[in-house]
Structure formats: C-alpha cells, structure tokens
C-alpha cells in the first residue's frame, strides 16, 4: 500500500518537472547573444514534454531574432502544430483538472498562436514563397478570431497579420482580396500620415468609410520595401494577486503589462527621415477576447470541482487511515489528519502561468519605396512626447535593397531601463556594459559627469527579510 502511494507521489512529482527554457538563455536573448540563447535552449526544446510548444516557440524566436531564419522555421512549425492540435497524447488532463493547471500541454493563448504563425509567415515571405506566407498569416489571423476589440463576430484584431496578408495578395496578383484585408486592418486608421520628401507621395487617410481602396493601401501594394518593427516586451503572467500558497485558491492568472517608453518609430534612409511607423498590433490588447467571460465561468466551475475533489481527498485519506488503524488511539487520529492534509495539499488549484514572454509589446508595419542598391537604414524610436530614445536606435549599414521586394525586420530586444533596473548593481552594470560594447553603441565613459542613470540604494534593510530597495533615476 505504502509503495503504491510512493509511486503515485513520484509520478505526481515527475509530472511537475517538465523543463522549460533556462533563464540564462532568455537573458542571453535580451543581450542579443542569440547563439548562446539557442545553444542553451536546444536540448530543452528537443524533449517531448508538455512544454514542447513553448520551448520550441522560444527557440524559434532566438534563431529568428538572430537572423537565422532557416533555422527558426522548424521550431516554429513544431510549436504551431502542437498549439493547433485539438487532441494530444501527452495531455495530462487528469492532473491538470485536479491539480495545477500547468500539468497540461502548453498550447498558448490566441495571441501566442497568432505570433507563432506570424513569424513563420515572415520566414516564408523572406524566401519569396508568398503563397505559404499568406497561408501562415491567415492562420495567424484565424488563431485570433475571438478578439473583442473590433466587436465583429468573425474579425480578428491582428492587424499586422492583415497587412502582411494584403501584401502577399498584392504580390500574388489578387488586389481585390488584398483590399479586403486592408479594409479589415486598422493599419490605415493608425498610420494617417506618411512622412516623405515629396508632397505628392504623401498619403493621408482619415475617412474610414471611404471606398477608394487605393488611398487606403498606403503603399503596401506598390512599395518595394516592407518594414516590420517590433518593440517592447509582451505581458508577463502570474497567479492572481501573486498567490503562491498551496492552500490558497489561485486558479486565476493575470497578465502584467511591461510597457516600454516607445510610442512609435521612424525610418531614416541614408540620413533622411522617410516614414513614421506606429503601433499596428499590441500583444497586450490581443489578450482581450470575446470568450473571456466563458473562460472565466469554466475556470470557476473547475475551481469548484477541485475544491470538491480536495475535500473528498481530505475525508477519504482521514477515513482510510482510521479504518487501517482501526481507529485506535490519538496516534491513529493524528496519522489520519496528517494523511488528509497531504491528500488535500496534493489537490491544488494553481493557475497556469506559462507564457511566451519573449514576444514584443507592439508591432508596427510600414512600407517604403527605396532605390535598389546599398543603403544605410536607421530605425529610431520615440516616446509619447516625441523625444528620441537613442538607446534603442538600430542601424543597418549598407543594407542591400533589391528592386522587387524587401522585408526589413527590426526588434528591440534589450530593455536597458526596464527589465534589469531592479537587478543588483553588479549584474546590471555588467549586462549593460556588455550590451553597450556589443550592440550599436559607441564609446562609454564610466566616469562621465553627464551620466544620466544612477542606482541608489534608498535605505538599507531595516528588517532582515526586506531587500534593499533600488531606485533608478534617469
């Protein structure tokens, strides 16, 4: 009997030990060391466990952001297949229904599925395979169809997907379908003004009901270069009110936004400002969906079921031990209570907080017609007060622009002032210095009087359990 209980407990523990991508790999990603990130996460992503889709999605993103587009394709395909599956063999449905939600196979939220298809679409697009790219973008749109922001039954608000689907349709010679996508996208409403040298090419679209699609295309149909700019970090997910106590009812998860200061980007070609790129899709906004209330109801029912199972386990264990010991004495009662507590604790209600947290906060899409040849392209980022955020500037020197079609992808990965500002001083310094020396920043004078960032320990820990607070002053 004891052996059986032990086996069950060991199986229970094993079910909770499916590895995820190590934190070192994610840190390497934020420091633009994509080779290290991929190397560290590859063994983990190869394992068939309940985190297979999440691990492969992250591995794909390491390759993708590092420019290894062909290497990124297979992990994204693997992740997408699992996310789209309706029935799975390794789904720990029983354990996830009586215990932690994350015992089941990770399949992602709609926005995570959309992004998986989105990256696969970009890879196909870069290869020049517009049909497959279109299929991937459409799947990305379909994966997000329950969003509520547009308040239409069959409409997704994954507007970046619409724009790229439209672009593929234009390139495939299907302008009518493309125009429908353009109409659906919020792209034209958000990018109202296209900055250019000549007034003739300036396009201003304000009228949503204007049926003249040519005005709404905004160059997506005719320009030879598409810019996809991603910035910020997607929301984190944590148990509601960050409850970690196993006895607490923390079945709900909440998303914590990680808003960056970036509001929009501008593209410079050979030193000249050409186009402004605004937010086209926001991963945080993507989280809102029509099925939210339904999901909440289901979750409440599941919590009720879990508490019922928990009480039954509690009572069953107590009774079982009493029967086994024939109810003799206080020791038997104590053993019964102990067994009941163990059984009750085993039935947990923890929410699933796994999330593809390496995604960007915002995606912007823009287009531009650039003369074929080598050009110096810069992507500069701006705050809501229209001040440039130079720490994010990305430059691409001697970028080869082809005559027909180009796709320039840009992602700000390292968040100097957000992600690492609460780290210890030494870690922060080394990370920032390493980043600065390796990525698009020139001289750093550590004793420069005009230094604008300081970490000041505000007050030493008065009570031992309190950490020293750090405050970053810009």
**To 5 degrees, how large is the angle CA 157–CA 158–CA 164?**
135
Establish if 425 lies at the interface with another protein (CB under 8 A): yes
What tokens were used for 54?
A: 């999440």
DSSP 8-state code for residue 350: P
Asked whether 132 and 165 are in contact (CB, 8 A), the reply is: no
User: In this complex, which beta carbon is closest to another protein, that of residue 17 or of residue 447?
Assistant: 447
Q: For another protein, which residue of 291, 376, 383, 430 counts as binding (CB under 8 A)?
A: 376
Cα separation, 129 vs 405, in Å, equals 12
Choose which of 2, 13, 331, 447 interacts with another protein (CB under 8 A): 447
Q: Which residues are bridge partners to 380 per DSSP?
A: 266
In whole angstroms, give the CA distance from residue 244 to residue 322. Answer: 31
Cα–Cα distance, 325 to 329 (Å, whole number): 9
Please report whether residue 275 would count as binding another protein according to CB under 8 A: no
Q: Which stretch binds another protein (CB under 8 A): 198-206, 214-222, 300-308, 437-445?
A: 437-445
The dihedrals phi and psi of 80, each to the nearest 5 degrees, come to -60, -40
Among residues 153, 199, 443, 465, which is the contact residue for another protein, using CB under 8 A? 443
Element (H, E) at 256: strand 253-258
φ, ψ dihedrals at 397, nearest 5°:
-80, 140
Does 410 help bind another protein (rule: CB under 8 A)?
Answer: yes
Does position 35 bind another protein by CB under 8 A? yes
The residue range among 12-20, 129-137, 229-237, 454-462 that interacts with another protein, by the rule CB under 8 A, is 454-462
Give whichever of 135 and 455 is closer to another protein, judged by the CB atom: 455
Least separation in angstroms between residue 105's CB and another protein is 28
Site string for another protein, 170-199 (x = CB under 8 A): ------------------------------
Q: Could you tell me if 400 and 436 are in contact, meaning their C-beta atoms sit under 8 angstroms apart?
A: no
Tokens at 402, concatenated = 């082809």
Give how far Cα 196 sits from Cα of 89, 185, 219, 233, Å. Answer: 55, 22, 12, 29
Asked if 224 interacts with another protein (CB under 8 A), we say no
Residues composing the chain: 474
DSSP 8-state assignment for residue 154: T
* The one among 46, 70, 131, 197 contacting another protein by CB under 8 A: 70
Is 284 a residue that touches another protein (CB under 8 A)? no
Closest approach of another protein to the CB of residue 375, in Å: 10
CB of 69 to another protein, least distance (A): 5
Q: Which stretch binds another protein (CB under 8 A): 197-205, 279-287, 354-362, 393-401?
A: 393-401
Both tokens of residue 202? Answer: 């300036």
Q: Which of 21, 28, 29, 34 binds another protein (CB under 8 A)?
A: 34
CA distances from 403 to 96, 223, 224, 256, 374 (A): 53, 10, 7, 43, 11
Binding site for another protein (CB under 8 A): 32, 34-35, 38, 62-63, 66-71, 268, 270-271, 374, 376, 378, 380, 390-391, 393, 395-400, 408-410, 416, 425, 429, 432, 436, 438-448, 450-460, 462
């Amino acid at each position: 009997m004891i052996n059986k209980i032990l086996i069950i407990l060991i199986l229970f523990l094993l079910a909770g030990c499916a590895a995820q991508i190590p934190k070192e790999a994610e840190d390497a990603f934020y420091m633009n060391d994509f080779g290290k990130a991929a190397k560290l996460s590859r063994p983990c992503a190869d394992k068939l466990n309940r985190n297979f889709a999440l691990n492969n999605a992250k591995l794909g993103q390491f390759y993708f952001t590092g420019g290894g587009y062909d290497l990124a394709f297979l992990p994204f395909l693997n992740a997408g297949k699992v996310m789209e599956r309706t029935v799975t063999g390794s789904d720990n449905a029983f354990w996830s229904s009586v215990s932690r939600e994350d015992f089941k196979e990770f399949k992602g939220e709609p926005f995570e599925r959309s992004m998986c298809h989105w990256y696969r679409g970009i890879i196909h697009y870069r290869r020049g395979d517009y049909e497959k790219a279109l299929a991937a973008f459409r799947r990305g749109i379909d994966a997000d169809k329950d969003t509520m922001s547009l308040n239409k039954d069959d409409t997704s608000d994954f507007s970046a997907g619409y724009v790229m689907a439209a672009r593929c349709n234009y390139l495939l010679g299907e302008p009518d379908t493309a125009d429908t996508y353009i109409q659906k996208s919020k792209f034209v409403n958000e990018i109202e003004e296209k900055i250019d040298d000549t007034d003739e090419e300036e396009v201003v679209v304000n009228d949503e009901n204007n049926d003249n699609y040519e005005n709404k295309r905004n160059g997506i149909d005719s320009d030879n270069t598409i810019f996809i700019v991603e910035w910020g970090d997607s929301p984190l997910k944590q148990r509601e009110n960050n409850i970690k106590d196993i006895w607490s009812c923390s079945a709900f998860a909440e998303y914590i936004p990680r808003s960056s200061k970036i509001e929009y980007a501008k593209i410079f070609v050979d030193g000249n400002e050409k186009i402004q790129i605004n937010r086209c899709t926001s991963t945080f906004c993507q989280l809102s969906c029509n099925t939210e209330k339904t999901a909440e109801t289901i979750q409440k029912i599941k919590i009720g079921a879990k508490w019922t199972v928990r009480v039954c386990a509690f009572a069953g264990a107590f009774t079982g031990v009493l029967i086994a010991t024939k109810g003799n004495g206080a020791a038997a009662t104590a053993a019964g209570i102990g067994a009941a507590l163990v059984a009750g604790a085993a039935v947990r209600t923890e929410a699933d907080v796994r999330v593809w947290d390496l995604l960007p906060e915002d995606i912007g899409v823009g287009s531009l017609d650039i003369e074929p040849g080598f050009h110096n392209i810069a992507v500069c980022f701006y705050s809501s007060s229209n001040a440039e955020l130079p720490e994010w500037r990305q430059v691409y020197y001697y970028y080869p622009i082809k005559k027909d079609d180009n796709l320039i992808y840009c992602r700000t990965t390292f968040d100097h002032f957000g992600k690492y500002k609460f780290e210890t001083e030494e870690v922060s310094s080394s990370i920032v210095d390493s980043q600065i020396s390796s990525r698009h920043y020139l001289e750093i004078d550590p004793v420069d009087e005009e230094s604008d960032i300081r970490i000041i320990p505000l007050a030493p820990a008065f009570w031992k359990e309190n950490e020293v607070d750090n405050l970053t002053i810009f």
